[in-house]
Structure 1
């Protein structure tokens, strides 16, 4: 029997890796298209795109992990059932409870992977991703190297360049500065260059025209220039720090002093409790996901018409259990002492699994099929 456990567990892990890889690839491609268009369109490099993609992978993997767990349990159980391996094991005296052991081990492995992601990797990656997004949003130099679009790098400032040469020269530049309350400035130039001057950045415009409109008298004055320097350092935010959020904190930081954390982050104790125990509950749900897939197909037994009905039932059960999380978060957010209800989907799923295994071990349908098989 130990050999059968190792055999079934190896099949579950192999299929789990396959489904996880496929699902991550599908979801990543769908997300990467939008991310690539946004970053490259803002003048960022391919390395920045790869960095953002890597930082988003932990959250993406955490999303597809329960789906891959359920798919692996369904596929392996169905294959063993079609090849009569489960029937043979039952005929030798192995109960459904005993045959569920490798599936439970597989579910625990999946839960440990989910725990590592939710408690450590996802918070760290999310914090780094938010910091990089702030840094990118402050990198006005790369944003100005976007041709053919009217850009607003700061409130009251509009910038446009017709083309950007391979050497970084901006051609046919338009710059409107409406930040002043007394006057408005418009600059047009044949060419422009972005030049770093120490910690500052300047836009050097060549062969252009400056127009100034006085708001009070509505008088317009113009002046031609050969070269003109416009300091864009003031358009860049000088504080690159972002405020810490609950999702940035690892679970060991959330285990104690909920009141202190809530006060420091300007939130409620219920939000801290909901975030912390939501992570534990999602990890525990991975174990339930694997066992529901196995137990549902085991109760259905063998059928020449396939197991589509059982798969649909198992999927709907998981959808219903997972959908409960949204309705349970509200009470916990209002009262941190209600955090045990966050585990309701996992506990209820465990009860359903026990009921299915009990029926498979002693139900009349299963015994009748065994007698027919002998």
Structure 2
């Protein structure tokens, strides 16, 4: 790239990075506010909160990076047009390639970032979030022991423990499960033991009884010698579940649907695979869209603000339709095809508008760019004309006298 192209790319990159940081911070704050009460109640450290925030960044970044690129590039193109920089570039004979190359280079970098994060980084981060949730659930049980009162692990699920034993076991464990309106379960055990494992934990109960009123007026009772409860099944207010989003991409691709676990239905696995391999296509689809709506020098009377709004709405429309197709891609082959075809088709369609026959879209009509833009020869300029009372008259050339 020449000096002017590097200048344009640097401005777009800086503004897109700022937009990405601001949007990520705002969305991340809302996510943390949903979890901070549970983390404080389970007595997690500040380091755990920071770790959770960092692990949520990849998921947020993949979702908003294409829009940060769209906002950053379109704002800079509009600013350069308002400052007459695009007009000067075109008047100098540089041509539209001067700002087209930076746009496509930034789109390629954004797409590469989304691909790497969604395929490799995000699954690792999601698994770490699951580990934090399981640890917090186990610590909430310990908090119930020290408090000597009922603690709500999640909506409708309560646990109470009387005291610690001589060897650290839990004595007098009582659990009430009212998470479903159809049934209420009561579990009482004389003793229990927390058994942490990698990525989760179990509550091992001994010598107890479980009662449930699955039918009105009827109470079923089951006595048990030992009962194992997966603490991550009681996933609490972290809102995280063990899902295909936490598996490596290679593991998902090699997964046999016939032998998949109950938590891994084939439709969810297929949807997750399609999501990871389509998210990175949208920055590329937005690149020619920017050229169509934001390329070329325009006067202040050409309603460029409406063109900017059209670019933003077109980007949101393409992404929204893509989300709808992706949502059904696990159950329908046609929807899966559309999930890939929408960003690829948008790229092809806007590229045809932007580069087809040297034309550029201008708010509802086509305006042919000068022939020099497309590599042709510029026609000799005609004599300037003045219009007076609707009659065009040639302007006489001034002579030397």
Of structures 1 and 2, the one with the larger relative CO (CA 8 A, separation 6+) is: 1
1:1-374 superposed matches below 5 A: 2-96=2-96, 99-139=99-139, 140-144=141-145, 150-152=150-152, 159=160, 195=164, 197-198=166-167, 200-202=169-171, 231-233=191-193, 236=203, 239=230, 245-255=243-253, 257=254, 260-261=256-257, 263-266=259-262, 267=264, 269-298=266-295, 301-303=298-300, 307-329=304-326, 332-336=329-333, 339-358=336-355, 361-363=358-360, 365=367, 367=369
Q: Does the 8 Å contact 1:120/1:251 carry over to 2?
A: yes
Stretches of structure 2 lacking an aligned partner (at least 5 in a row) = 173-189, 195-201, 205-227, 234-240, 361-365, 374-380, 385-401
Distance in 1 of aligned mates of 2:26 and 2:131: 26
CA 1:362/1:292 → structure 2, altered by over 3 Å: closer, same or farther?
Answer: closer
Aligned to 2:180: none
Q: Output the TM-score relative to the length of structure 2.
A: 0.66
Deviation at 1:269, TM superposition (A): 4.6
CA 1:89/1:282 → structure 2, altered by over 3 Å: closer, same or farther?
Answer: same
CA 1:261/1:101 → structure 2, altered by over 3 Å: closer, same or farther?
Answer: farther
Deviation at 1:351, TM superposition (A): 2.6
CA 1:283/1:151 → structure 2, altered by over 3 Å: closer, same or farther?
Answer: same
Distance in 2 of aligned mates of 1:157 and 1:340: 45
Q: Does the 8 Å contact 2:62/2:279 carry over to 1?
A: no
Distance in 1 of aligned mates of 2:147 and 2:130: 23
Distance in 1 of aligned mates of 2:83 and 2:147: 60
Distance in 2 of aligned mates of 1:200 and 1:304: 78
More helix by percentage: 1
Stretches of structure 1 lacking an aligned partner (at least 5 in a row) = 160-174, 176-191, 204-229
- Point out the more displaced range, 260-269 or 10-19: 260-269
Q: Does the 8 Å contact 2:268/2:330 carry over to 1?
A: yes
Question: RMSD over aligned Cα, in angstroms?
Answer: 3.8
Q: Output the TM-score relative to the length of structure 1.
A: 0.70
Distance in 1 of aligned mates of 2:158 and 2:168: 21
1:236 alignment partner, SS class: strand
CA 1:152/1:90 → structure 2, altered by over 3 Å: closer, same or farther?
Answer: closer
2:295 alignment partner, SS class: helix
CA 1:84/1:141 → structure 2, altered by over 3 Å: closer, same or farther?
Answer: same
